[in-house]
Amino acid sequence: MQLIENKNFDEERALYGLKDCEVRNCSFDGPADGESALKECSRIKVDGCRMNLRYPFWHLADSELKNCNLTENCRAPLWYDSNICVSGCNILGTKAVRECDRVRLTDSTVNSLEFIWKSRNLIIEDVTIENSEYPFFEVSDSRILRLDMKGKYSFQYCSNISIEKSNLDTKDAFWHSKNLVIKDCVVKGEYLAWYSENLYFINCRIIGTQPFCYCKSLVLENCTMEGCDLSFERSSVKANVKGRIESVKNVLSGSICADEIGIFMSDDSVVDVNKTEIKCDKIEKVERLA
């Protein structure tokens, strides 16, 4: 395998179409402001490099990125890639990972707006997202393990994803998503999972106002809910909750089992309360809204 080591590149398409090569301890930076440095490459390993120019890894295939620093200037660094492994990287450029297939991202730190869009068959493990907006938009058929994330509007329009042992500090998460399993996670944020379908939360700690509205076939198993007022509005749900739910409003159908509900609200012009089974040791207040 060819080795390119300890060099600096600043011209456009500097290593275009490279194959069967290791690029080690190089810098992609300089006054020429060259973009697309490693476009259309395959079977390459990029190790310990500094990427400070735009669009470096487009149409990359069967390759590995390791211990690289993708700076704020490294805009849209990974697009249209397939079968790549990214490990030990610091990803700061906006719009990283789009229209990709079979990406494995591990042991990395991310601060990237619009991170991971329209991609599939991903494995995400031991990753920290320090800040993002609309991360994981239209992602499908993927597995996420030990993700520590802070960012708004996450996991919208997603399908067929499992998320385990993760800490998600987010807002408007899982909107319009289908067929997700979220297990052993902390999910903190307002307006969780509206308009979703077939979401399954197992052993999760759920924190925030107005969760789970307009949901279809929602399941909560052995979860806790903190500060969750106006929950389950116009949703079909099967919920087994430990502890207290602050308030429940206009559930369409299903069952809710909890130790305590603060306020149970229903409007007879909107829902038929007989379609929802409530198993609760204590309901502090029942409100008829009609």
The secondary structure of residue 274, as a DSSP letter, is G
Who has greater pLDDT, 257 or 270? 257
Q: Please report the pLDDT score of residue 173 as a whole number.
A: 98
For residue 176, the SS3 value is: coil
Calculate mean pLDDT across residues 143-148.
98
Residue whose token pair is 């990214």:
86
Nearest to 37 by CA among 21, 20, 52: 52
Nearest to 28 by CA among 12, 46, 50: 50
Residue whose token pair is 């600043």:
10
Nearest to 126 by CA among 142, 148, 110, 104: 148
Calculate mean pLDDT across residues 27-31.
92
pLDDT digits (tens, 9 = 90+) for 87-129: 999 999 999 999 999 999 999 999 999 999 999 999 999 999 9
Q: Please report the pLDDT score of residue 31 as a whole number.
A: 81
Q: Please report the pLDDT score of residue 201 as a whole number.
A: 98
Who has greater pLDDT, 251 or 269? 251
Q: Please report the pLDDT score of residue 54 as a whole number.
A: 96
Q: Tell which phi-psi region holds residue 37, choosing left (phi > 0), alpha (psi between -120 and 50) or beta.
A: alpha
Who has greater pLDDT, 272 or 109? 109
Q: Is the pLDDT of residue 162 over 80?
A: yes
Q: Please report the pLDDT score of residue 290 as a whole number.
A: 66
pLDDT bucket at 288, cuts 50 / 70 / 90: confident
pTM, two decimals, is: 0.95
Q: Which residues of 244-271 are buried (b: 16+ CB within 10 A; e: fewer)?
A: bbbbbbbbbebebebeebebbbbeeeeb
Q: Is the pLDDT of residue 130 over 90?
A: yes
Q: Please report the pLDDT score of residue 287 as a whole number.
A: 85
Calculate mean pLDDT across residues 40-62.
98
Cα 27 off chain centre by: 30
The secondary structure of residue 13, as a DSSP letter, is T
Calculate mean pLDDT across residues 34-58.
97
pLDDT bucket at 170, cuts 50 / 70 / 90: very high
Q: Is the pLDDT of residue 243 over 70?
A: yes
Q: Is the pLDDT of residue 289 over 80?
A: no
